[in-house]
Amino acid sequence: MHDLAIRGGMVVTPYAAFSADIGIDGERIAEVADRVTGRREIDATGQLVLPGVIDAHTHMELPVAGTVSSDDFRTGSIAAAFGGVTTLIDFTVGGPDRSIPEDIECRRVDLSDSIVDVALHGEVVGWHAGREGEFRDACELGVTHFKFYTAYAASGRRTAPPALKAAFAALATLDALALVHCEDETLIDSISGRLPRDRLGSMTSLAEVRPAECEQSAVSQVGRIARDTGCRTHVVHLSSALGLEVLRAWISWGAKLTAETCPQYLLLTRSAYEREDGHFFSAAPALRTSADNDALWSGLRSRDIALVATDHCAFTREQKTWRGSFIDLPYGLPGVETLLPLLYSEGVHGGSLALTDIPRLLSQAPAQRFGLFPKKGAVEVGSDADLVLFDPDEEWTLTAGDLHMNTDFSPYEGRRVRGRATTTVARGEVLVEGGECRARPGRGRFVPCGLPAEVA
């Protein structure tokens, strides 16, 4: 008899969906079989049993644009658990006057209130040749993937192409992974410089200033550097058909490239900027068109896009108060709690994805790409008992007031969805059940990452 048994559900993996029970001893999965018993048993009849979701791109308590994103690791992780997310991968907060290992130690203090486990990407700011040892030291601390920007020079985050190539070459020797925010700032500056001043007062100008061609150009540049250095490289928040097209090209030419997209780029369009509250949708990359939505769904089906993450960076309505220009807004959207229900409802129920694509895109692929598999992202004996029970038939309406993210705005306000997480288990502990959070802040752990692996 096991410590905990989940009985009567439909277990869904990237390869099959089948009826089975799951036995859990301590923090690990001990058995996947029929007629499993436990000292405590959870009835999963009529529900899907999925591996816990890994949101591989979040920004909790991130300093940005003179404010701090409204979810800290306590509130953000609680919201995550209500959405079936059992592992977050957040970022260090980089600075030119600190080393990446120093940033890691600081961020580990920040995440200490989380109720779910947290891994980290290392943000690279102000890097130059001669600092290669920081990558090795960070890897020894369990951070094996590092984020670069081709934009945001004003804040010091942009890494110029020569330094980017040197950094990629250093990472390649470690078999580590480069993540890149791909927008061509030269093109952005060129368009901005020609924008009439009165257009700064229109939210619709955001899409004009940061068009899909900016992503296309940056992905092409990054793809070339990835191929030339042999560095494993991951493009974050891919948003456009043009970006996907050039990503596919560089993969075919030998670059070790993967990419993620986000629900906002699958479901929303630039028409949101035309709304009276359009400034609440400020984010970078900008929202695109319905044709871009369709292309990204196609990329998920073809596996040219490896995974879906949220880029969760929540702000309140007050923080996003309109100050006369889209340039003065903090950029980011909430999403950690709505990732799983939206992808299931719009993808599986909507006919764009197979049921088995959900654990592939939200669990296995991020675990593999970021060095967590099979500890995370799998329903296998010996894996962490990170599981979510999901009712595929529950219909409900998304509204910020009923969600748990620390914001009074949802970009999906009023959207009807089908499917909802009902119970979330992380390392054998029930975090959310019966609409209540049962976990104490601080139970989450920092999870060291191994070397990135290829996505199956």
| Tens digit of each residue's pLDDT, the chain (456 residues) | 999 999 999 999 999 999 999 999 999 999 999 999 999 999 999 999 999 999 999 999 999 989 999 999 999 999 999 999 999 999 999 988 899 999 999 999 999 999 999 999 999 999 999 999 999 999 999 999 999 999 999 888 999 999 999 999 999 999 999 999 999 999 999 999 899 888 888 999 999 999 999 999 999 999 999 999 999 999 999 999 999 999 999 999 999 999 999 999 999 999 999 999 999 999 999 999 999 999 999 999 999 999 999 999 999 999 999 999 999 999 999 999 999 999 999 999 999 999 999 999 999 999 999 999 999 999 999 999 999 999 999 999 999 999 999 999 999 999 999 999 999 999 999 999 999 999 999 999 999 999 999 998
Domain that holds residue 78: 52-369
Cα 409 from Cα 400, distance rounded (Å): 5
In a domain, 413, yes or no: no
Same domain, 59 and 40: no
Same domain, 105 and 175: yes
- pTM for the predicted model, two decimal places: 0.98
Which tens digits make up the pLDDT trace of 360-395?
Answer: 999 999 999 999 999 999 999 999 999 999 999 999
In a domain, 344, yes or no: yes
Q: What CATH number is associated with residue 273?
A: 3.20.20.140
Q: Which H or E run contains 250?
A: helix 241-252
In a domain, 455, yes or no: no
Alpha helices in 91-160, H assignment, sequence order: 100-110, 132-140
Q: What CATH number is associated with residue 16?
A: 2.30.40.10
Which tens digits make up the pLDDT trace of 174-200?
Answer: 999 999 999 999 999 999 989 988 888
Same domain, 264 and 212: yes
In a domain, 448, yes or no: no
What is the distance in angstroms between the CA of the first residue and the CA of the last residue of the chain?
34
Same domain, 399 and 322: no
In a domain, 444, yes or no: no
Same domain, 183 and 322: yes
* Total number of domains constituting the chain: 2
Tell me the two tokens of residue 25.
């001893």
3-class state of residue 53 by DSSP = strand
Same domain, 72 and 186: yes
Same domain, 113 and 17: no
Strand partners, 50: 388
What is the amino acid identity at position 50?
A: L
Same domain, 67 and 204: yes
Same domain, 46 and 62: no
Same domain, 134 and 281: yes
